[in-house]
Amino acid sequence: MLPEELQDKLEHDIAAVDHPKELAVDVMFALQDHYGYLTDEAVETAAGLLGIAPVEIEELATFYTFVYREPVGKYVIHVCDSLLCMLDGSETIEAHLHQKLGIGAGETTGDDLFTLLPVCCIGYCDRAPAILINRKVYGPLTVESLDAIIDRLRADKD
């Protein structure tokens, strides 16, 4: 069950638009923020709110990069591996993250803090090599500056 406040907000937003389906991505994002990822229950809930079949939500959920159908960590790290970041060392950045976090691409750390996802060009080529952490950009990175960022997030948790 959704908290009443979130339920009301989403119902209100949906009632305010001409076509409920146009809010499908927003609703998925809101439920994902609430549950941590788009759970099976969230798929059902989204479909119910929008008045469509769950499969219509699934069609979208499986398409988009930023919708997660499996649990992710508190911090989702998107590592850009497209051309400009690659030329400026994204492979080193990614390898360092594997080693520092002890996880591979697509995996989450045992303490549920970090998930590592390689992605295509994030539009910060002037700051290569760049990554996003929960959609906030960091770059140009060095191994040292990356260490500092990860250490800070780890410390924040306590």
Which parts of this chain interact with another protein (CB under 8 A)? 18-26, 28-29, 50, 52, 56, 59-60, 63-67, 78, 81-84, 86-87, 120-126, 128, 132, 135-137
How far is residue 11's CA from residue 14's CA, in Å, rounded to a whole number?
5
Q: Closest distance between another protein and the C-beta of residue 107, in Å?
A: 18
How far is residue 74's CA from residue 65's CA, in Å, rounded to a whole number?
17
Nearest residue to 129 (alpha-carbon basis) of 140, 121, 118, 119 = 140
Question: Judged by CB, which is closer to another protein: 73, or 129?
Answer: 129
Q: Closest distance between another protein and the C-beta of residue 12, in Å?
A: 15
Residue 79: CB partners within 8 Å, gap ≥ 6?
A: 90, 93, 94, 97, 116, 117, 118, 119, 131
Q: Closest distance between another protein and the C-beta of residue 110, in Å?
A: 27
Question: Judged by CB, which is closer to another protein: 84, or 100?
Answer: 84
Question: Judged by CB, which is closer to another protein: 5, or 63?
Answer: 63
Beta strands in 11-94 (DSSP E): 75-80
DSSP state of 109: -
Question: Judged by CB, which is closer to another protein: 58, or 112?
Answer: 58
